[in-house]
Amino acid sequence: MRIDDRATLADLACGAAFLGSGGGGDPYYSLLLAEAAFARSGGFDLIAASDLDDDALVAPCGWIGAPTVSVEKLPNGRETVTALRRLEQLTGRKIAAVMPVEIGGGNGLAPFIAAAELGVPVVDADGMGRAFPESQMVTFNMRGLSACPSVLTAACGSLAVIETQDNLTHERVARGLSVALGGIAHMVEYPLTGAQAKRDAIQGSVTSAIAIGAAIRHARAARRDPFTALADALKATGLYPHCQTLFDGKIVDLERETKGGFSIGKVIIDGFGDGGRMEVLFQNENLVARQDGKVRAMVPDLITIMDRETADTITTERLKYGQRVKVIAAAAPAMLREPAALAVVGPAAFGLGHDFTPIERLNQGEGA
């Protein structure tokens, strides 16, 4: 599938924002970057992992850092290509394709610039199926693959090659480097073989994001309910088989603090009329939603807060007192619900006192 038009990119940005589950940063700047790359180099091909040779070299790409910094310290534009060239030197191989390491938020669009400029395809897959706050929260780590060698680059031209024994140490080193380089950096990590990309990545997430964005766009144009369109589109992807509007209300309280370098907090939403009260806890991404004390959704299922009129995703950094929102939950891709995955990205991994229960069980009989 050839992608070379603004409308498809905009759909992808909109869908990726939803899949970010409140995190991953606002994809607006990523969208502008991709449009600029398209203007220079044309578009790129989106291919299925099954189209790759088993021994092909696939490079997952993404940004690591603070979303608030990323809106002020903008990319130079050479970060991704420079890192990919170094990975080729390190491995002695040509890169056959790139892939977003996380589909959620701005990172869902991160590899497109390099794809357009290098003329390599983008694989229709990613390692998270959504957004997560830490780099080891990725299917490749869950399946026992190594993040290294990874290459971290920054706008100033600095480049670091990271080699660690384990993926958690890799996250800590990369996090420290990103802070030293001004709070935002680009990273090529978890270099994959074609066989690994087929087996260990979440397939179809890029086309799913495009379909979600297109559904919302068409609904808005036809003045139909964008949330119904969103739910239908999610189910149609096959990746996100259940979707539920958990709540509709107004933000009446917002508590945010920084612990361990993360934005941790909760938002309280009061329903319209006598609709009760919902509390959503977050660590960069939304982790758990409780209504009047009862859990309605939890990580790794997706919980996204959206503007109730426009269906624009509101990331956790942009939540504000008084916003009128809907809280939407979607089932995580099946790979994230496996026991080995839940150990890395389930409620326990975030210190929540719950065993994972899927949204379709938590909301039995509630209707879609």
Nearer Cβ to other proteins (150/263): 263
The C-alpha angle 133, 135, 139, rounded to 5 degrees, equals: 105
Nearest residue to 108 (alpha-carbon basis) of 233, 208, 36, 226: 208
| Smallest distance, other proteins to C-beta of residue 117, A | 11
CB closer to other proteins, 222 vs 252 = 252
Least distance in angstroms from the C-beta of 283 to other proteins: 9
**Smaller CB distance to other proteins: residue 73 or 85?**
73
Minimum CB–partner distance for residue 250 and other proteins (Å): 5
- The residue among 176, 17, 210 whose CA lies nearest residue 102 is 17
What's the rounded Cα separation, in Å, for the pair 167 and 270? 40
Number of other residues whose CB lies within 10 A of the CB of residue 257: 8
Of the pair 29, 235, the CB lying nearest other proteins is at 29
Q: How many CB atoms lie within 10 A of CB 192?
A: 25
Which C-beta is closer to other proteins: that of 34 or that of 192? 34
Nearest approach in angstroms of CB 144 to other proteins is: 26
> Considering the complex, what minimum distance in angstroms separates the CB of residue 192 from other proteins?
25
Residues at the interface with other proteins (CB under 8 A): 28-29, 32-33, 35-36, 64-69, 71-78, 113, 133, 155-157, 175, 178-179, 182-183, 250, 252, 256-258, 261-263, 265, 270, 272-273, 284, 307-310, 312, 314, 317-318, 320-324
Distances (CA, A) of 179 to 34, 131, 168, 261: 25, 20, 17, 10
Count the Cβ atoms, other than its own, within 10 Å of residue 113: 27
Q: β-strands 122-123, 150-153: how paired?
A: unpaired
Rounded Cα distance, 277 and 295, in Å = 12
Of 178 and 193, CB closest to other proteins? 178
Closest approach of other proteins to the CB of residue 67, in Å: 6
